[in-house]
Chains A and B, each alone.
Chain A
């Protein structure tokens, strides 16, 4: 026992008196050195491959840099070029926003409504139904089946259906026609979008205390819609916020699906997004400064929309 007591002694919290804030912090840091060591591996990697690159990208976005010569500072030149001199980029911004504004909220609401409807099923059935809705989001490249479905010749399933019922006489070249590319990509993106947010809602719904519903019924809640509004939603506010972040971030990240379906670049850049523009300049042309400006704008848009939506959502129900 005395050995144990001795070992425990140095870890006792330091009383915070007779010293400045910094002295206290330093003492606390020394006392908890083990904590820093334990989280070091994770944060070392996190800072090297996520935080650091984002910060550096912001710096590089003010420079011209081609990986061979040292970078030189050009202030806002890259941004000027992007906004005033790069029509493809403006198209990319437009498409990105359309994508995000449609898939983000739609995916969010679909996740919430579906999770809510599923919640009342018997546990075994609920598990199966959850899997059906969730599976597309975890099954990798299976969305390529949609490419087959919308194939441009008469063997594409959609074309064959349209022609069989006489709606069209000629097969439609879905992925060569700017009118169809974006809507199809959005549908496929939605198909894969019941992911983390959806599961979060399912988890949140199951955690709501059942007694509250009974209490609600006693207090005069008359139907399931009122119950949802007055009991369920306020109870799962944390999940609603988390799901929003997941849905928004996801809605900016459908570039791979677009590339797989519509090609790189898509016809007339009709589904060209900021992510594609970034891949083009960063991965293929090695204009690091310019690509960093694109990355910084994308970063700002994602963070900005997340902050905004979080602010709005956290006001709901207060």
Chain B
């Protein structure tokens, strides 16, 4: 048996140098593969015209400029909708959609995890099942539903379904299960607090990481939404749609395309950075159990 190493009366776990080197090499190579494309988009967005055309392409910028970001607002000039409108649409959809998902999802997560009512297990199993398939399979019937509701070509068609999206709700329920003590809820109920009040004043403040996780996922999905089959009017289309138009506009708009992509990606990344430790905490309770 290997000798047990200790330092300051603590056990030192055995770590071979070879393993350390192998792991570092893996992380560096794979990390570069992940990082370089992102880095390159950012660098390209900061380059002036003449540097964009340098050949072979360079991975640094000499004369940094924000001109591409300014030009972004004129890049969709062949569209009669002002560029800010696309941004407005995406912000509106993301904020209202995420807020609704937070309200509906946390209410459902709370009731299912903390109130013992008949049917809760069956409902949760359905939610869990929904994680196993892509919502594309619902797209045909959804189109029919939307047109019957008269929601085609309105914000409602993209916002309302997001209120019932399941991933955030699922993670929140799993997190609530382990992080809200039933005894506290029980004493609140005995004091005559209604379920809605218990949910809002006692349960919700205890599961802030769960909230943030739901927000991160819901927001990311909505923010990154491109063209939707339900939306035809140009003035209702999203920022991601506009970015794709610019990027596919070809070489003439390379810098602007990168600038738009940077704006596109920085927002969800910022939201994630802000809540990273809480998301990871929530993930510690993620699992497929009932």
Contacts and interface: CB of A to CB of B under 8 A. Distances in A.
A256 B120 CA distance: 35
Contact of B35 (A114, A132, A238, A288): A132
A160 B56 contact: yes
Contacts of B31: 129, 132-133
Interface stretch (B14-22, B60-68, B71-79, B81-89): B14-22
Nearest to A282: B140
Interface string A120-153: 0000000101111111101111111111110000
A139 B163 contact: no
Interface of B: 1-2, 4, 10-16, 19, 23, 26-27, 30-31, 33-35, 37-38, 40-41, 55-57, 103-105, 107-108, 110-112, 115-120, 123, 126-127, 129-145, 160-161, 163-164, 166-167, 169, 189-192, 194-196, 199, 217, 220, 223-224, 226, 229, 240, 243-244, 247-248, 251, 254, 257-258, 261, 264-265, 268-269, 272-273, 276-277, 279-289
Main secondary structure of the interface of A (DSSP, over half): helix
B248 to A, nearest CB: 8
A286 to B, nearest CB: 9
Contacts of B107: 38-39, 41-42
Given A191-B34, A239-B284, 10 more contacts: A8-B189, A45-B160, A49-B160, A57-B140, A135-B38, A141-B224, A203-B280, A224-B16, A302-B132, A303-B133
B147 to A, nearest CB: 9
A182 to B, nearest CB: 19
Interface of A: 3-5, 7-8, 11, 25, 28-29, 32, 34-36, 38-39, 41-46, 48-54, 56-57, 60, 67, 110, 113-114, 117-118, 127, 129-136, 138-149, 155, 157, 160-161, 164, 191, 194, 196, 199-200, 202-204, 206-207, 213-214, 217-218, 220-225, 227, 237-239, 241-242, 245-246, 248-249, 252-253, 255-256, 260, 275, 278-279, 282-283, 288, 291-292, 295-296, 298-299, 302-303, 306-307, 310
B189 A11 contact: yes
A199 B280 contact: yes
Nearest to A287: B140
